[in-house]
Amino acid sequence: MKEDHGNLMFQWLLPFAIAVIVVLIMFFNFSLKIKKEAVETVEDKFEEVAEKYALKVNGDLQGICLVGETSAQVISQRSPSNEGIIQLLLESIAESTEVCEAIYCDKDGNAIDHQGNRVDFEGNNYIEKLEKDPDLNYLFEKEEAITGAASIIIGVPVEETEGYLLLFYPLKRLKSITEMSGEFNDSAFLSIINVEGDIFQAEDRASSFLKGSNIWANVDKEYQNDTSKARVRMQNNKTGSFITMAGEEIRTLVYTPIGVEDWVLLIGIDQSYVEFRQEAIFSKSIRRLYQLLGVTFLFVALIAAVNYVGKIRNAERNKTLQEKADTDLLTGLNNKLATERKIKEYMAQNQDKLGMLFVIDIDNFKKINDTMGHAFGDEVLRSLGKQIGVNFRVTDIIGRVGGDEFMVFLKDLQKDEIVLREAKKLEYFFKHFEVGEYVKYSATASIGAAVFPADGNDFESLYKSADQAVYKAKKRGKNQVAFFDDRDRK
């Protein structure tokens, strides 16, 4: 009894030890996953901030463009040559939007501003640039002569007069709406660039990335490959981020399209701040995981102790009863009742899964008993019971259901090709099955095969199909497998 108790304890301790190892492995993998999720969470947060500012810029510019388009339609439809009305429209644009100047220029180069003053465009090629590229609606000028300040010029065509409305949007307005209010603890800069890296606007912040007029020219050579990949994504109007370096600075650059030309809003965040935010999220999640792990281990230990005590009291009785109820004493396989019960249970719980039933009938078994004696006949059955199991999985159901009749049910077959393969494997087994210690006797079998659920969706109908297949095998000369649906001959 003590030995049995020791075995029972071992049976509990071994799974518990395995469970601990599995949990530790899961913990390690989960910690890696948490780390990855922390990185993704921080990146997503940064991208949300970038998209927020990009939306502000886009809203400003698109709003001005919409007002300009409406005014251009009014000029085209009602007053293409009435300078008084045109001036009122220009004045309305200047008052209702954030532009610092609104100018109308006709096809002959005559231009007036929102105050009604004549404007000399000599030396300025804004109209030429807009006419040269019909898809171009925005121009960037660092030193704009008319307004005397860096501006974005929004060009709106007036179709009836073949002229243009030129709306001058000051960059100082852009700086005001993109001024970051402490989102990154002063560890980041914000800039507006085009895909080629030309800097349109940047905060007054010292950074190696913002030196000169092109941000990509400042990136160290070893990071140029990642930069090129990011530029491709920018060209495809994608939002994202990547780590790069300029001079002694390592930053995560977060980019998002503004929705105007190929302009991109870029936030450069100091890498130490990025890692600080990632570590904060990771540490918080890990602490919770430790707490959960501790509670889980305590709970499992208590459950294991309670079950161990219960198992000691019931192990011997249950073992004896189970063995008597389910085992065929001669072969050591499932008996008829256990075999049928287990197959029925599987069918009830797995009605949509593929399975297969073999009914095996030993050929000429009566002749074996009559000529070689019943003892040798029992040895045939006993040897078959020992050897047949190696051909199948431990989860498959194998049993002796009659004097010389056996049944094998294969569970959870993945595809139809496996059905034929398993049948050939069983057929090969019986073609090489021998019994006898000194004189070898080859015992063959006629085997009927039926597929679940195609040939029967309950035990009775499936068994009937497999039994009919046995008679097919006998009529064909015995020592072979026959399918109920003859799929092996199709």
In a domain, 330, yes or no: no
278, 295, 322: which is the final residue of a domain?
Answer: 322
Average pLDDT over residues 472-481: 94
Q: Are residues 257 and 404 in the same domain?
A: no
Shared-domain flag, residues 344 and 317: no
> CA-to-CA distance for 106 and 109, rounded, in angstroms?
5
Same domain, 118 and 204: yes
Q: Are residues 353 and 255 in the same domain?
A: no
Whether 329 maps to a domain, the answer reads: no
Domain CATH code at residue 419: 3.30.70.270
pLDDT band per the 50, 70, 90 thresholds, residue 348: very high
Question: For 336-348, what is the mean pLDDT?
Answer: 94
Write the CATH number for 267.
3.30.450.20
In a domain, 307, yes or no: yes
Place of tokens 């095996």: 360
Q: Would residue 358 count as lying in a domain?
A: yes
Judge whether residue 2 has pLDDT over 60: no
Judged against a pLDDT cut of 90, whether residue 297 lies above it is answered with no
Q: Is the pLDDT score of 6 beyond 60?
A: no
pLDDT of residue 27 exceeding 80: no
> SS3 letters for the chain?
CHHHHHHHHHHHHHHHHHHHHHHHHHHHHHHHHHHHHHHHHHHHHHHHHHHHHHHHHHHHHHHHHHHHHHHHHHHHHCCCCCHHHHHHHHHHHHHHCCCCEEEEECCCCCEEECCCCECCCCCCCHHHHHHHCCCCCEEEECCCCCCCCCEEEEEEEECCCCEEEEEEEEHHHHHHHCCCCCCCCCCEEEEEEECCCEEEEECCCCCHHHCCCECHHHCCHHHHHHHHHHHHHHHCCCCEEEEEEECCEEEEEEEEECCCCCEEEEEEEEHHHHHHHHHHHHHHHHHHHHHHHHHHHHHHHHHHHHHHHHHHHHHHHHHHHHHHHHECCCCCCECHHHHHHHHHHHHHHCCCCEEEEEEEEECCHHHHHHHHCHHHHHHHHHHHHHHHHHHCCCCCEEEECCCCEEEEEEEEECCHHHHHHHHHHHHHHHHCCEECCCCCEECCEEEEEEEECCCCCCHHHHHHHHHHHHHHHHHCCCCEEEECCCHHHC
Instruction: For residue 284, name the pLDDT band (cuts at 50, 70, 90).
Output: confident
Domain total for the chain?
2
Determine, yes or no, domain membership for 218: yes
Whether residue 355 sits in one domain with residue 298: no
pLDDT value at residue 204: 60
Whether residue 432 sits in one domain with residue 408 = yes
pLDDT of residue 445: 94
- Mean pLDDT across 342-365: 94
47 contacts 256 by C-beta, under 8 angstroms = yes
User: How far is 239 from 167, CA to CA, in rounded Å?
Assistant: 29
Does residue 367 share a domain with residue 318? no
> Of these residues, 113, 270, 328, 404, which one is catalytic?
404
Is 390 found in the same domain as 253?
no
Q: Is the model's pLDDT at 152 over the cut of 60? A: yes
Give yes or no: residues 69 and 120 share one domain.
Answer: yes
User: pLDDT at position 488, please?
Assistant: 77
- Residue 406 and residue 336 in contact, taking contact as beta carbons nearer than 8 Å: no
Say yes or no: 2 and 49 in one domain. Answer: yes
Across 6-15, 130-139, 315-324, 342-351, the highest mean pLDDT is recorded for: 342-351
Residue 131 pLDDT level (bands cut at 50, 70, 90): confident
Indicate whether 31 and 157 sit together in one domain.
Answer: yes
The tokens for 60 are 């400003």
Is the pLDDT higher at 224 or at 311? 224
pLDDT at 12 over 70: no
Contact present, 363 and 446 (Cβ < 8 Å): yes
Residue 356 phi, psi (nearest 5): -150, 140
Average pLDDT, the chain: 86
> Is 229 among the domain residues?
yes
pLDDT, residue 216, reads 94
* Same domain flag for 293 and 431: no
Tell me the percentage of the chain whose pLDDT exceeds 90.
Answer: 42
- Answer whether residue 354 is part of any domain: yes
pLDDT tens digits along 67-77: 998 988 888 88
**Per-residue pLDDT at 330:** 92
pLDDT digits (tens, 9 = 90+) for 409-429: 999 998 888 999 999 999 999
Share of the chain above pLDDT 70, in %: 93
Model confidence at 283, pLDDT cuts 50, 70, 90, reads confident
For the residues 180-185, what does the mean pLDDT come to? 71
Among 322, 356, 378, give the residue marking a domain's end: 322
Residue 467 pLDDT exceeds 90: yes
Supply the pTM of this predicted model: 0.54
Residue 254, domain extent: 1-322
Active site residue 328: no
Q: Is 198 part of a structural domain of the chain?
A: yes
Residue 3, pLDDT above cutoff 60: no
Predicted local distance difference test score (pLDDT) of residue 147: 79
Q: Which of 262, 292, 322 is the last residue of a domain?
A: 322
